[in-house]
Amino acid sequence: MTAKKKYLVVEGPIGVGKTSLAKMIANEFQARSIFEKVEDNPFLVKFYEDPETYAFQNQIFFLLSRYQQQRELSQQDLFNQNTVADYLFAKDKIFATLTLSSEELSLYQQLYELLDPRVPKPDLVVYLQARPEILYKRIKKRDKSYEKSVTLEYLKDVAQAYNRFFFHYDETPLLVVNTSEIDFVSSSKDLADLIKEINNMGSGTQHYIPLGSR
């Protein structure tokens, strides 16, 4: 990564492949990698089974876990070492808005606004998109036990919420990538083309539609 892109974040809805891509980008740039500790959340399975009962506990656990990880990151030598993460702290609001009641969301917002100014902001966010049907197929293929009850309808809501969030996102440079018809894991060319886009990325928001997705 260039000096202007020391801290890069890969984001996108469940099943889009952000962790796999973050690992490959980190390897490409010989960067440190930071991964979200999803499986450490004791409320996640219960949330997928009974969202109304466990949404608030699930969301607060994720918020505090992400905050702790980001604070540890900021206390390390962030600016002298390339770093790639598979989540954006601000994305926590996407799921909160989607799953919490109005009263819960109000309390959540107060806590979020206390924490957000204390976490480091990335130099570039790579936002991966895919059609909900593709997300559903990828989730079923990876066969994680806590995702067995994830429905296509839920993924449609999540994908739509992500699109709304990033449509208005302007905190950092943003590269939007359509991944519905490409595979960074099995295609070295797809990965090489994306790395080129990352290296050439300037300010503002840019859209990258790989040839396979057109």
Mean pLDDT taken over the chain:
89
Confidence label for 214 from pLDDT (cuts 50, 70 and 90): very low
CA–CA gap between residue 177 and residue 71 (Å, rounded): 28
Confidence label for 22 from pLDDT (cuts 50, 70 and 90): very high
Which whole-number Å values give the CA distances from 157 to 11, 36, 98, in the listed order?
Answer: 16, 21, 8
Is 206 in a helix, a strand, or coil?
A: strand
Q: Which amino acid is at 11?
A: E
Look-up: residue for tokens 């570039």?
A: 124
Percent residues over pLDDT 70 in the chain: 94
Q: What value does the CA radius of gyration of the chain take, rounded to a whole number of Å?
A: 17
Fold of 7-213: Rossmann fold (3.40.50)
Residues noted as catalytic? 86
User: Crossing angle for the helix pair 18-28 and 188-200, nearest 10 degrees?
Assistant: 70
Q: What is the pTM of this model?
A: 0.88
Summarize the chain as % helix, strand, coil (round to 5): 55, 10, 30
The tens digit of pLDDT for each residue in 159-196 reads 999 999 999 999 999 999 999 888 777 778 888 989 99
And the tokens for 25?
């980008």
Q: Name every residue whose Cβ is closer than 8 Å to that of residue 104 and which is 6 or more positions away in sequence.
A: 55, 56, 59
Burial of 193 by CB count in 10 Å (0-12 exposed, 13-18 middle, 19+ buried)? middle
The total number of residues shown for the chain amounts to 214
Domains of the chain, by residue range, sit at 7-213
CA–CA gap between residue 148 and residue 135 (Å, rounded): 13
And the tokens for 156?
């449609």
The tens digit of pLDDT for each residue in 102-149 reads 999 999 999 999 999 999 899 999 999 999 999 999 999 887 877 888
CA 87 to chain centre: 4
Mean pLDDT of 61-86: 85
How are beta strands 32-34 and 124-129 bridged, if at all?
A: unpaired
Counting DSSP H helices and E strands in the chain, the numbers are 8, 6
